[in-house]
Amino acid sequence: MLKWALIFLVVGLALGALGFGGVGGAFVGIAKILFFIAIALFIIFALLALFAGKKIRDAV
């Protein structure tokens, strides 16, 4: 997902530099959304791994 966010960011910046500000801004907005979704998923999965690791360690 971070790969797609980076792609959208680069394309948005290139479009903005070429004078297509509206479309470039939309691409940068999509990149922001994808970035924050990726961060949220990272935090959720890190917490799940932390809690699952404790349960496995306690069971052994």
Give every CB contact of residue 48 below 8 A, 6+ residues apart in sequence: none
What are the tens digits of pLDDT across the range 4-13?
Answer: 999 999 999 9
Which residue segment(s) compose the domain that 18 sits in? 2-55
Share of the chain above pLDDT 90, in %: 75
Instruction: Tell me, yes or no, whether 32 lies in a domain.
Output: yes
What pLDDT band is residue 60 in, cutting at 50, 70 and 90? low
Q: Mean pLDDT throughout 30-48?
A: 96
Instruction: Tell me, yes or no, whether 13 lies in a domain.
Output: yes
Instruction: Tell me, yes or no, whether 35 lies in a domain.
Output: yes
Instruction: Tell me, yes or no, whether 60 lies in a domain.
Output: no
Exposure of 7 by Cβ count < 10 A (0-12 exposed, 13-18 middle, 19+ buried)? middle
- Residue identified by tokens 């799940």 is 48
Instruction: Tell me, yes or no, whether 18 lies in a domain.
Output: yes
Model confidence pTM above 0.75 = yes
Total domain count, the chain: 1
